[in-house]
Amino acid sequence: MAEIGTDIEKAARLLRQGKLVAIPTETVYGLAGNAFNEEAVLKIFETKNRPQFDPLIVHSSGIEWIKEHVAEIPSLARTLMDEFWPGPMTLVLPKKPIVPDLVTSGLDNVAVRVPSHPLTQELLRSLNFPLAAPSANPFGYVSPTTAQHVEDQLGEKIDYILDGGPTTVGLESTIIGFEEGKPIIYRLGGLSVDVIEDLIGPVEVTLNQSSDPKAPGMLKSHYAPGKPLYFGNPGEMIHEFEGKRIGFLGFMTRLEFLPPDRQLLLSPHGDLHEAAVNLFAFMREFDKFPVDLILAERLPEIGLGRAINDRLRRAAVNS
């Protein structure tokens, strides 16, 4: 079992030794290692059982550190940095040679971000290297939003979990890249599209979801719970599962034809931020429920609803 605590000095010491530490961010918990140490980066892939063609996000304490390992910052990228960092936004930018190819899966670009969680900010400021940190869970499974989630899944494989409490965003960061100077969203996340467009104008949304991703978190099958999850209109799907014990993951309203103790509502008040915060924790809860499968309701395709639907779609067996 991994030790869970708030000792930043211990976390920093382990990272300097090339070991892995789970860290809190405002989005989800990350499995962190020295981004400039190829052996540490390889441990991340091995610990998560993550394919090495899926690139990692590099976390730094601020824009000045980002400049150390990014070759170019387009003007639109700088505008986004100034407005949304620290925060749930990742930018894909040309990398300098100091960033190992293992981090970027051989791509010429590196995904970078500045997380806002105060514990992780303090940790990053105490280090002279950035941290490669994908979500701290086995590859393909639901992302962790508490220290206990990390312990439940990776506790036997890592030494320390820095406990920063439950995450406040609950979805991974929004990933933005630039092609021919135009901003493109590669992954929907904790920063909504409309907020980005309010700042820089229209952006293209290209969710690659292939086996050859341009950025982290773009694989089609991802974020899955232990029980089969079906995404769409529960009223239409339920007839396909007669005789099965069904759980319902809804937005605001329960289903009258299912027992209440097999249903979880992401936000009874219709708050998309609350729904995002609860999403991964509720998906995990269903693993403890006496159900054979989960029916997940489609949320409104506005604001964070788009990102929540994206995660549910990738977690679903019928996508």
Q: How far apart are CA 50 and CA 47, in angstroms?
A: 8
Question: Residue-wise over 133-168: b if at least 16 C-beta within 10 A, else e?
Answer: bbbbbeebbbbbbbbebbbebbbeebebbbbbeebb
Is 70 exceeded by the pLDDT of residue 208? no
Q: Report d(CA 86, CA 88) in Å as an integer.
A: 7
pLDDT band for position 31 (cuts 50, 70, 90): very high
Q: What are phi and psi of 192, to 5 degrees?
A: -75, 155
pLDDT of the residue at 108: 93
Residue 219 has pLDDT above 70, yes or no: no
pLDDT at site 207: 78
Q: What is the mean pLDDT of residues 142-171?
A: 96
More confident residue, 124 or 318: 124
CATH no. of 3-205 = 3.90.870.10
- pLDDT class of 218 with cuts at 50, 70, 90: low
Average pLDDT over residues 67-75: 94
Least confident segment among 48-62, 74-88, 131-145? 48-62
HSE, side-chain direction, 13 A CA sphere, residue 299: 28
Options 3.40.1350.10, 3.40.50.11030, 3.40.50.300, 1.10.10.10; CATH of 229-315: 3.40.50.11030
Largest Cα span, the chain:
59
User: In percent, how much of the chain has pLDDT > 90?
Assistant: 86
Residue 60 has pLDDT above 80, yes or no: yes
When pLDDT is cut at 50, 70 and 90, the band that residue 54 belongs to is confident
Q: What are phi and psi of 110, to 5 degrees?
A: -125, 140
Q: Is the dihedral of CA 266, 272, 273, 279 positive or negative?
A: positive
pTM for the model stands at 0.90
Q: What is the pLDDT of residues 242-283, one digit of tens each?
A: 999 999 999 999 999 899 999 999 999 999 999 999 999 999
| pLDDT for res 223 | 73
**Mean pLDDT estimate for the chain:** 93
* pLDDT confidence band for 211 (50 / 70 / 90): very low
Domain ranges of the chain: 3-205, 229-315
Q: Which two tokens stand for residue 154?
A: 């990776």
- Report pLDDT for 220: 58
How many angstroms from the chain centroid is the CA of residue 310? 12
Question: Confidence class of residue 215 from pLDDT cuts 50, 70 and 90?
Answer: low
Phi, psi of 246 (to 5 degrees): -110, 135
Q: Give the pLDDT confidence of 98-114 residue by residue, as tens digits.
A: 999 999 988 999 999 99
Residue 257: per-residue pLDDT: 87
Band of the pLDDT at 213, cuts 50, 70, 90? low
